[in-house]
Each structure stands twice: as structure tokens, then as C-alpha cells.
Amino acid sequence: MYPDNSKENSVIRLTREETSGFLVAAGEYLKENRKEEIFYNRQKKEHYMNHMFYGYDMDRTMLRIDAMNMMTHGIDNPFIEYRDSLSDRNSDKDKYSLVLANPPFKGSLDADSVSGDLLKVCKTKKTELLFLTLFIRMHKIGERCACIVPDGVLFGSSKAHKDIRKEIVENQRLVAVISMPSGVFKLYTGVSTAILIFTKTEHGGTDNLWFYDMTADGFSLDDKRSPVADNDIPDIIQRFKNLDKESDRKRTDKSFMVPKKEIVDLQFNKVNASNDSISDSLRFFCEKPNALA
């Protein structure tokens, strides 16, 4: 799930993420791992400096900080723009090849202020669901998204929650759900979150879905967020790069695979990557036999 600069049109796009942290990290990864490929090729270097990184926000102060942060890290001309991403004025469609996003964890909007084509997929006022529909719309076919969502997106029982989960599983290709502990985003919020990784296909493709129950990220889960020894992130990266070796893992392990059929058979109600039992792990998409009705 790392940026791929082998394609000249690769674009990393961010939606409402403070200080451009995702974009900076993506740029740093490319500099560390593909330095010769990018910086010794005039065309690719020009693309990296001027056309690869896009970010949007509705806070003008944050936009200035975002742009300064990017330029401080060697991105000469990032495209950082003031924009209401969920409105009709945002016409981005089939445009980006990689989306890294940390959208608002909660909030609601009046339907009149939301783009009509987003409401066709998921009729709701909840911003955390609307942003998922936006990410799908703005992707190029065959390209990837990694976005952080609150647990409510996975557990919610409203029709809108079920609709967006069905859209991602049935019409796109959901690859992984990485459950994160509450405290990861202290001091900002204590809400539990998860990372969804999916590919836009518009014709499905979800097969075996990979779950990882992350319990540590290298920092304490209190307000201090002090460095600690426990850190699942290196293991997550290694395992994600080798998903073909995950099929034999047990449901009691920290990571495991779940066939799509098991999720669909449970009718898209709830999701949870808990490793206590198969029933817990498949609260992910369900419980009630007629939840789609």
C-alpha cells in the first residue's frame, strides 16, 4: 500500500488531514526507497515536485500550514487548495491513483450542501460515510485507497452504514481491515478507529478479507503518547506485503483471513476484527438475517 512512482500519472490525494502528515510521509517514503528512480529522471522528478501531491481542506489556516509543511520536506509545488470536497463544486471523478485519507470522524451536513451523486450511493448526513463515497468516486478504476474510519462505520446498523459497507464489499474490492485501539489519536480523540484498504473496480472482486487486530503502535495510548516498546506496525506491513501466507492463520491469531462468503451470508450488518472467536470476527458485516432489507 505504498506510493508507486513507476506510473507517471500516480497521484497521492488527501482529504482534510491536519498538517499534510500523510502526504509528507508518502513523499518521504518515495525519497528513501525510490530516490534514484525519481530524482535521476528529469520527467519523474518534475512530476514528483509539481503534479503528484494533492490536498484539500476548508480551514485556510491549515492550508497554509499544510503547504509550508510540504515545501519544508522538499515538495516544491504541492497542490493544496481550499475546497468543500463533499459539495457539487468538487467534480473530481476517476482522477486519482492513490488516496490516503483521515476524514472527520463525525459530523453531519445538510443534504442541500452535499453532492447529489454521493447521496445516490449512501443517503446520509454523516460526513464519515459521505467521505467514503467520495473516495470511491474520485479514484481511477483499479487504483487504491487507504482511509481511517471510526468504528461507527464498521458497527453502524443504519441503512446508510449498511449501504456503504455493501458498496465497498460488493461493488469494489475490499482487501484489508486493520483495527486500531482507542488512544491512537490522543490528544485529539479517544475514539476507536480502523484502516480500510480497498481497490476501486466497480464490478466487485472482494475475495478473502484480511483482518488485523492492532493493539500497539509504538506509543502509549494515554494523553502523553510516550514511546513504548510494543509496536505492531512493522508486523502489519510485513504481513500485508505477504497476504498469500496469511490464509492458514487461525481466527485466534492477531491477523487472519475471512472469505467474502462468510461476510455476505451474515447480511452486512456489523464488522469487528476482534480475534476472540469467529462470531466476534464476523460481527464485521453482520448479525441479523435480513439486515439488507
Per-residue pLDDT tens over the stretch 30-49 = 999 999 999 999 999 999 99
Q: Given pLDDT bands bounded at 50, 70 and 90, which one contains residue 10?
A: low
Per-residue buried b or exposed e for 172-198, using 16+ beta carbons within 10 Å of the residue's own CB: bbbbbbbbbeebbbeeeeeebbbbbbb
CA distances from 199 to 86, 112, 116, 131, 226 (A): 21, 29, 23, 15, 34
pLDDT of residue 57: 83
pLDDT of residue 280: 47
pLDDT in tens, 130-167: 999 999 999 999 999 999 999 888 888 899 998 999 99
pLDDT (average), residues 252-273: 72
Q: Which of 21, 167, 177, 175 is nearest to 102 (CA)?
A: 21
Q: What count of other Cβ atoms lies within 10 Å of the Cβ of residue 42?
A: 8
Alpha-carbon distance of 206 to 184, in angstroms, equals: 28
Q: Lowest-confidence range among 39-53, 231-245, 276-290?
A: 276-290
For residue 61 the three cell numbers come to 489556516
Residue 162: CB partners within 8 Å, gap ≥ 6? 156, 268, 269, 291, 292
Q: In the β-sheet with 12-15, what is the strand arrangement from edge to edge?
A: 79-82, 53-57, 12-15, 96-101, 139-150, 193-199, 173-180, 208-213, 255-259
Residue predicted with more confidence, 234 or 109: 234
What backbone torsions phi and psi does residue 72 show, to the nearest 5 degrees? -60, -30
What backbone torsions phi and psi does residue 223 show, to the nearest 5 degrees? -65, -25
For residue 177 the three cell numbers come to 481491515
β-pairing verdict for 208-213 and 193-199: unpaired
User: 471510526: which residue's cell?
Assistant: 150
Q: In this structure, which CATH number among 3.40.50.970, 3.20.20.70, 3.40.50.150, 3.30.460.80 belongs to the domain 84-284?
A: 3.40.50.150
